[in-house]
Amino acid sequence: FELIAAQMRSPEVLRRIKELKEKFAGKTIICGVDRLGRLSGILLKLRTFRQFLKVYPSYRNKVVLVQLAVSRTTTTHTSPENRITLAKRISALAKEINDSMGPHVYFYAGDIETEDRLATMAVSDMLLDTSLKDGLNLAPF
């Protein structure tokens, strides 16, 4: 806890928090931090979010989903080729949602730094974990 608390006070995290607050001002921020793997549930999360925006159009332009797909914490069960394919599928779905309903999904994949993960979680109103099969999801940390 002390380590994370100290990192949250670092100039880099505070700078990133300020940037995110400005970027998403006035929006409810839903955050997802998952490993980039086939059982992460990210595609399911985006499909569900798309359905939410279709059923409740009054939430359009009021809510965003910031999805971080961390590849460096992915177990060896997902090959690098499969991670690339999965990231492309997720990016395509995010683009489809954004093209049809406005900018609601922000998808970032790769070796996402701890400072970026902490800043994103700090500004988020909700953490959404939709893992299909996962014990303890340590990707956020």
Q: What is the pLDDT along the chain (141 residues), one digit of tens a residue?
A: 788 889 999 999 999 999 999 999 999 999 999 989 888 899 999 999 999 999 999 999 999 999 999 986 545 467 888 889 999 999 999 999 999 999 999 999 999 999 999 999 999 999 998 888 766 655 555
Q: How far apart are CA 74 and CA 97, in angstroms?
A: 26
Q: Which pLDDT belongs to residue 135? A: 62
Q: Alpha helices, DSSP H only, in the chain?
A: 2-8, 11-23, 42-55, 80-101, 114-123
Task: Tell me if 53 sits within 8 A of 101, measured CB to CB.
Answer: yes
Q: Which CATH code, of 3.30.470.20, 3.30.70.890, 3.60.15.10, 3.40.50.2000, is assigned to 2-127?
A: 3.40.50.2000
Query: Does the reported pTM lie above 0.85?
Result: yes
For residue 105, list its beta bridge partners: 65
